[in-house]
Amino acid sequence: MKRLKFVLAALLLVAAPSVLAAAATQSLWRETVQRALAADAPQAQTFRATALDEAALQTFLSGPARQGEALAVPRPDGGFDEFVLGDSGVMPTQLAAKYPQIKSYIGIAADGTQARIDVSPLGFQAMVFAADGVWIVQPQSRGGGNDYMSFSRGQFSASRDFQCGVHGKPASGSIDRGLRALPVPMTTTGTTRRSYVAAVGTTHQYVAAVSPAGGASVANGLAGVVATMNRVNQVYEKDFAIHMTLVANNDQIIYATAAGDPYPDGDDAIDMNSAHLDSVIGAANYDIGHVLTSGSGVANLGVVCRNGLKGDGTTGATNPTGDAFWIDYVAHEMGHQFGGDHTFNSTTSSCGGNRNGPTAYEPGSGSTIMAYAGICGAADLQPNSDPYFTASSLNEIGTYAAGAGAGCAEATPNPNPAPVIVPLSSFIVPARTPFTLSGSATTSSGGTLSYGWEQNDIGPANNNLAADPGNGPIMRSLNPTPTGVRTIPRLSNLVAGTALKGEVLPTTARTLHFRLTVRDNVPNSGSTSSADMTVQSVVTSGAFKVNTPNTAVSWAGNSSQSVTWDVAGTAAAPISCAQVGIDVSTDGGLTYPLNVGSFPNSGSATIVVPNVTTSAARIRVSCVGNIFFNISAPNFAITAASDVIFANGFQVAAP
């Protein structure tokens, strides 16, 4: 019987008044001295070391936590975040009763921050999805003990011993051929909540790899599976309102010893898994099957709900635990089973032979879940995947879940309406010139909106990430942010004069397609909306750029100064920019709070310098009614002029 209870709405109501109670749970933790990390620990560059009173934690979970008191979790940078806990729904009632030592939670803070928390014989694990990024709390070693580390997700890398073989294992039949072509774009996901029963088996090598030395057991193997699915569910619930609950007798496919383990420890496990699950679990009792190993990964494309194929997925690594394994690997392989294909556009290193042209929307290795971050050599954008699906993956997986993957799901309408995006406009800009994409949305779901702008163009494979080939992707995906603004190139790189790998300005005449995706991030039942616009790049006489000031000059406040810029043909059609706005930054070009006026787009203007003092001034000249701009470099100085008054015949500086 399928089970899916979306019970977290109540947590949002009780989170706020629980903060004072959470202060008491800070005493569960004490600061410790950092020591050299064990080989099996996440190799974070920096971390906060703490010790956990695990006995006191168990007392808290069995009592106060059930009454709505919040649990304090140590932040990497000091202090604590507090979370009210609710059952994650990963373990069905029968399985949870059989293994009471394994607990799996969703946490909600008073400000809406979410966490996934697991407590088991493998220790305490938490993944916190804060506005300033994901951070993690894990044991410092699988060897037991109460030493923990809190660190930012960006502080470590996964092992690079993984390769996904989806292209070597295509599902047979016409459904696979249809999946290889991108479906008609969806504008929303998550309008229906879908619950699937998952049968997730393990090899004995996996169980040994996640357990303390000599401590391999079914309970430990199941604890590893539960932690994995808690994290995977967080992503699928946020982007698709898809939830997976383990089958009630999932422990029967956890193999802790070689005796009785039917699986080969690697890709070949896929060839027998569906038949094995049908035999042990029963074909009618699960919707998606998977095997965790210490090998690598492979999955058939679009097999959820398909009898005889729905167990065709396996994931493994030599260290098969932790957030990088769960996101880069397990969420990726299950994404294939839900119909999602690869999204990277490179053919170097492990990207070679695995690119899928119709969905190759990400430059280089890509950086999202269905990409190959960290395993494509010179084309790598970053070491690990970011924990979200790109626009094309939202489209593919959302389409599959609503179509071929809908028949076996327990489906209910999502009462939280999808975000409503304010209609977008398209623009014409000069090539080689920065521009800013802006969008906004509203929601009545009670969730916290996040925004992601992504280029949505495909073309031939491209391994030269430093140039615009005239087609295909040239602008990488970036993590969703609380505002609907994205500057290209990234503003911090623009002011520093550096390049973000996988992001270049257009230098050719072309039409760039952009998609804005807005997530409402409602716990357990998220929804997304998307909208499209275009930016037409026109080759002009040069880049629109600021010519003066272009040295580290010093200006006096309230003085008149000349600002010049290269119009670069932007006053003429088709761009037709008649007016520019001029703004002043005092923080090195990151913000521009001081507007000094609008002027004809003639290439020069005389401005009155704001009466402020700064050593990090920049000038921005931007087209009024358009999205392109440029800024001066380097920083220059402004010195505020003193106002002067006369008192009793003497000149006095005003206070």
Looking at the structure, do residues 277 and 371 belong to the same domain, yes or no? yes
Mapping DSSP onto H, E and C, the string for 12-60 reads HHHCHHHHHHHHHHHHHEEECCCCCCCCCCCCCCCCEEEEECHHHHHHH
Q: Is 595 strand, coil or helix?
A: strand
The whole domain housing 44 covers: 25-155
Q: What H or E segment, with its residue span, contains residue 397? A: helix 391-402
Q: Is the dihedral of CA 58, 63, 68, 72 positive or negative?
A: negative
Residue 169, pLDDT score: 46
653 within a domain of the structure (yes/no): no
Residue type, 133: G
Q: Could you say which DSSP state residue 74 is in?
A: E
Residue 156, pLDDT score: 67
Half-sphere exposure at residue 576, Cβ-oriented, CA atoms within 13 angstroms = 4
Looking at the structure, do residues 446 and 484 belong to the same domain, yes or no? yes
Residue 642, pLDDT score: 84
Q: What is the largest CA-CA distance in the chain?
A: 103
Residue where a domain terminates, one of 504, 538, 572: 538
Looking at the structure, do residues 150 and 191 belong to the same domain, yes or no? no
Q: Could you say which DSSP state residue 360 is in?
A: -
* Secondary structure E strands in 312-367: 313-316
Q: Is the dihedral of CA 439, 442, 443, 448 positive or negative?
A: positive
Distance CA 146, CA 123 (A): 8
274 within a domain of the structure (yes/no): yes
Residue 305, pLDDT score: 98
Residue 335, pLDDT score: 98
Residue with tokens 């990277």: 344
**DSSP alpha helix (H) spans, 283-381:** 323-324, 332-337
Residue with tokens 């390769």: 163
**Token output for 383:** 């070491």
193 within a domain of the structure (yes/no): yes
Q: What is the pLDDT of residues 122-164, one digit of tens each?
A: 999 999 998 888 999 999 988 778 999 999 987 765 555 556 6
300 within a domain of the structure (yes/no): yes
What stretches in the chain show pLDDT beneath 50?
1-7, 9-10, 13-14, 16-20, 167-178, 180, 645-647, 649-655
Residue where a domain terminates, one of 514, 538, 562: 538
Distance CA 5, CA 477 (A): 33
Distance CA 549, CA 635 (A): 9
Looking at the structure, do residues 390 and 428 belong to the same domain, yes or no? no
623 within a domain of the structure (yes/no): yes
Residue 2, pLDDT score: 42
Q: Is 94 strand, coil or helix?
A: helix
Report the candidate in 337, 326, 320 with the shortest Cα–Cα distance to residue 266: 320
Looking at the structure, do residues 530 and 557 belong to the same domain, yes or no? no
Q: What is the pLDDT of residues 549-598, one digit of tens each?
A: 999 999 999 999 999 999 999 999 999 999 999 999 999 999 999 999 99
Residue 1, pLDDT score: 37
**Token output for 123:** 């220790």
Residue 174, pLDDT score: 39
Looking at the structure, do residues 337 and 298 belong to the same domain, yes or no? yes
Looking at the structure, do residues 424 and 397 belong to the same domain, yes or no? no
Looking at the structure, do residues 273 and 396 belong to the same domain, yes or no? yes
Q: What is the pLDDT of residues 16-40, one digit of tens each?
A: 444 445 566 899 999 998 877 777 7
Which whole-number Å values give the CA distances from 134 to 131, 151, 269, 553, in the listed order? 8, 9, 32, 41
Residue with tokens 């430059």: 363
147 within a domain of the structure (yes/no): yes
Which residues share a beta bridge with 188? 529
**Token output for 182:** 């991108």
Across the chain, mean pLDDT equals: 91
Distance CA 512, CA 470 (A): 10
Looking at the structure, do residues 223 and 113 belong to the same domain, yes or no? no
Residue type, 70: A
Q: Is 106 strand, coil or helix?
A: strand
Separation of CA 241 from chain center: 16
Please name the residues in contact with 602: beta carbons below 8 A apart, sequence gap of 6 or more. Answer: 567, 571
Mapping DSSP onto H, E and C, the string for 465-488 reads CCCCCCCCCCECCCCCECCCEEEE
Other beta carbons less than 10 A from residue 92's beta carbon = 18
350 within a domain of the structure (yes/no): yes
Looking at the structure, do residues 385 and 508 belong to the same domain, yes or no? no
14 within a domain of the structure (yes/no): no
Cα angle 216-220-226, degrees, rounded to a multiple of 5: 150
Looking at the structure, do residues 111 and 139 belong to the same domain, yes or no? yes
Structurally, how many domains does the chain consist of?
4
Report the candidate in 585, 628, 397 with the shortest Cα–Cα distance to residue 495: 585
Looking at the structure, do residues 532 and 564 belong to the same domain, yes or no? no
Residue where a domain terminates, one of 402, 426, 445: 402
Residue 226, pLDDT score: 99
**Token output for 525:** 């039942």
